[in-house]
Amino acid sequence: MTQIAIMGTGMVGGAIDRYFRLHGVQAGLFDPPKGLSDPSVLANADVIFIAVPTPYYLDGSGFDDSYLRAAIEAIPVPGKTIVLKSTILPGTTEHMQREYPMHRFLFNPEFLTETTADRDMQFPNRQIVGYTAESRRDAELVMGMLPRAPFERIVPATEAETVKYFGNAFYALKVAYANQMFDLCKTLGIDYEIVKECAKAEPWMGTHHWEIFHKGYRGYGGKCLPKDTRAIIQLGDRVGSELTILKQAEEYNNIIAKAQGIDIQWEEGSPKKQSTPSFLKAMPKRYLVTGGAGFIGSTLVDALILQGHQVRVIDNLSTGKRDRVNAQAEFILADFTDLDQIKNHFHGIDGVFHVGALPRIPFSIEHPLPAAVANVMGTLNVFVAARDAGVKRVVYSASSSAYGAQETLPLRPDMPANPLNPYALHKYIGEKIAEQFHRFYGMETVSLRYFNVYGPRMADEGAYVTVISHFVRQYKAGQPLTVHGDGEQSRDFTHVYDVVRANLLAMESARVGRGEVLNVGAGERHSMNKIADIFGGPRTYTEARKGEARHTQADISLTRELLGWEPHIRFDDGIRQLLRDQGIHPAF
């Protein structure tokens, strides 16, 4: 079942929550000012609705989007489908998509009235979901979660954002027009109510916003019409589109407001221009990530930065890329195979993620010495440096290759290791180093056995390319896909975003830290032939690789028990999204 979280529990967020609860769905709530500050509800969610304030500045300079940004930055792991419910200017969703590319953004305008918010939420007359190029597929999922409506459309995000302004600005015009007609009727000495009722009999006139007195005053006020009208006028000015009629309506509305001795436009409350407080986050810590310029490491660094932590990266760039390292992280060009190079950089660090390695089985067979130096001695150096610096916990990136060939599936951590190649042996030795550093030195350690990680930033060249990257490269070059053996060998593939989430939980969980070994996999397996089928096109078969298991599949029951972790991204969805990101249309 899709897990849902809601950030902000005011009028809009509360209505969303009550709708889901009415239909048997328990959404996680995150609203720190109200005491709802458990980040795990965000980490575990697949879809996050953001319904935080976006108040309009009194000085007319636009919206305060600091609450919105703080909400996005409080999400502890990447890869989320984020549905913006806050009122935002056209173009904001696309801007957020570019600024926070680790998530997929949608916009779903709300059409709620404060006094009837629950009814409006449950029985809408229209349901609109706006998408970006990255979130187009998610739009259908989210539309399916929302209340049905007579009118339902999935449209580009900027069009969806404009809809509410289109409507509210029109309502503002109607209110201004109605008030002018009221003044005219008064001058003529005739009854406005009679004229209004007769005019409203024409269906095209609409039945709303013809009343003159609202909450004891004339003109439009409240929380929406004034700020939305002002915002769309300013947007028009910025892009060179003169919204003359709206400006005249706003000017007239200000006149009748002042004539009543009140400032209706702002009385219900847009704040003065000031920086708004951020969502409360966990106390920031200082983490060190080895291999932080690589595929998994750089994605982990991004997630830690999003959580508000300080991050130091150690990488020799043998396989990583400097431009992958988050600009807010401290980068140290160093090689962890040299203890003297790295040991001073561990001081003042709260926790270490040892992700760096020389990966891939073929490389370890062809180059056993450098592979062993990096994967065994380098790992030992990291643990020694962490111990000597008083680091509390080290999370070690292990490998499912340590299982080797087993008689039964799924693979459980209590099965005896059976490494079939040097790389598998190296990673298994790393687990034993982690275990013994806990036993002899009291260091908190945990090892995560990854199962075939894939996703954005995976290597696309050199000796470290996965089968998926091989297929991408061959497909783009117009070459047949090369399948080793009969293609029926299968692997458990895990999305990098799920792997990162497991790392974050392993660092924080009080239930681990005693040298445990945990599987991080999807719990299902897919053959090479199936993956080639998803790509489509011709393929060739070559000899099977030596030293590799025929099948892998993770048993994640212990991981679920100790970390509360399970994968959120199904391989069938993740691989197709990856292909689209590469400009490849999946065959099915």
Query: Would 4-163 and 164-267 be classified into the same CATH topology?
Result: no
Q: In terms of C-beta density within 10 A (0-12 exposed, 13-18 middle, 19 or more buried), how is residue 296 classed? A: buried
For residue 213, CA distances in Å to 68, 90, 218, 227, 254 come to 34, 31, 5, 20, 15
Count helices and strands (H / E) in the chain: 22, 22
**For residue 401, how far is the Cα from the chain centroid?**
29
DSSP code at position 283: P
Report the CATH number of the 286-453+493-523+553-569 domain.
3.40.50.720
| pLDDT for 422 beyond 50 | yes
pLDDT for residue 215: 67
Structure tokens at 95: 């801007």
Identified catalytic residue from 67, 100, 423, 497 = 423
pLDDT band of residue 475 (cuts 50, 70, 90) is very high
Residue 261 corresponds to which amino acid? G
Torsional class of 457: left (φ above 0), alpha (ψ -120 to 50), beta (otherwise):
left
Second-level CATH architecture of 164-267: Orthogonal Bundle (1.10)
Structure tokens at 582: 């590469």
Report CA Rg, the chain.
29
Strand partners, 450: 399, 520
| pLDDT for 280 beyond 60 | no
CA neighbours within 13 Å on the CB side: how many for 341? Answer: 13
Which strand (E) or helix (H) includes residue 310?
strand 310-315
pLDDT for residue 221: 75
Contact of 559 with 518, CB cutoff 8 Å? yes
pLDDT in tens, 540-561: 999 998 878 899 999 999 999 9
287 is a catalytic site residue = no
Q: What is the mean pLDDT of residues 445-453?
A: 97
Cis peptide before 422 (omega within 30 of 0): no
Fold of 4-163: Rossmann fold (3.40.50)
| pLDDT for 266 beyond 50 | no
Among residues 549, 553, 489, which one has the least CA distance to residue 519? 553
Among residues 464, 452, 267, which one has the least CA distance to residue 360? 464
* CA separation for the pair 193, 283 (Å, rounded): 60
pLDDT in tens, 219-248: 887 667 877 887 788 778 878 888 999 999
**For residue 176, how far is the Cα from the chain centroid?**
42
| Percent of the chain's residues with pLDDT above 70 | 93
| pLDDT for 571 beyond 70 | yes
For the ranges 33-37, 38-42, 349-353, the one whose mean pLDDT is highest: 349-353
pLDDT for residue 76: 85
* CA separation for the pair 445, 451 (Å, rounded): 20
Structure tokens at 241: 């589109």
Average pLDDT, the chain: 89
Structure tokens at 372: 């062993």
Structure tokens at 483: 């399948």
Where do the H-state alpha helices sit in 240-345? 244-259, 264-267, 295-306, 339-342
pLDDT in tens, 315-355: 999 989 999 999 999 999 999 999 999 999 999 999 999 99
Q: Tell me if residue 127 falls in helix, strand or coil.
A: strand
Q: What is the residue extent of each domain of the chain?
A: 4-163, 164-267, 286-453+493-523+553-569
